[in-house]
Chains A and B, each alone.
Chain A
């Protein structure tokens, strides 16, 4: 079974530029998550999708971050414009459903450096 795929693995941009990350979840997984992990901290949930609908985006900085999951499969996360404090690893995860007992499967992440 293929795991969660993310690209690119690394991205370096200057502040005020735009960047986009892509995620392909495990086949059949209805729930998809985007996390931000700052160095030395645990992952922080940015947005949760159930199929192609948003379940929770309470911690997404909506003035600069956007995400979509067209057709309920792949997802993209965009930052526009980027700030220095956006430097972090962006992790995508998926689970069969969004139930409490469900295990999340993570991709390797995209490491973003904003200069």
Chain B
């Protein structure tokens, strides 16, 4: 089952604009991660935010986490055509022993038009 649900499903913007994607989840988490997937490629990790953090920055990326609302947002500032990709949030859950697994949402397809 999918834990995270991204919103919107698709987003189209012009180069230079900001893009905001949202993720909602159902159960309590330790961490939440965001990944990017270019067409025909594997996923690439972008950023991890811990449950006791509210905001985190990495370059042009800004992630927020609201555990009371079970939601997170990913903001990409000053977007570029190369940012065109699908973006997934992933939440952790115990898988066995002291191991954890990630559960991915359906993703947001971002298109940045030059």
Contacts and interface: CB of A to CB of B under 8 A. Distances in A.
Interface stretch (B11-19, B56-64, B69-77, B95-103): B95-103
Chain A interface, DSSP helix/strand/loop, else mixed: loop
B105 A42 contact: yes
B45 A98 contact: no
Contacts of A107: 42
Chain B interface, DSSP helix/strand/loop, else mixed: strand
B92 A100 contact: yes
Interface size class of B (residues with CB under 8 A): 20 to 34
Contact of B101 (A41, A45, A109): A45
A48 B42 contact: no
Contact of A108 (B42, B45, B92): B42
Given A42-B2, A103-B33, A50 B99 contact: yes
Interface in B15-40: 30-31, 33, 40
B104 A55 contact: no
Contacts of A99: 98-100
A101 interface: yes
A42 B42 CA distance: 11
Contacts, number: 77
Nearest to B93: A100
Interface residues of A, number: 29
Contact of A56 (B31, B33, B95, B104): B95
Q: Which 4 A-B pairs have the closest CB atoms?
A: A106-B42, A98-B99, A42-B104, A56-B95
Given A50-B99, A56-B95, A101-B30, 20 more contacts: A41-B106, A42-B88, A42-B105, A42-B106, A43-B88, A45-B101, A45-B102, A55-B97, A56-B96, A56-B99, A93-B42, A98-B95, A100-B30, A100-B31, A100-B100, A101-B48, A103-B33, A103-B48, A104-B43, A105-B45
Interface of B: 2, 4, 30-31, 33, 40-45, 48, 50, 88, 90, 92, 95-107
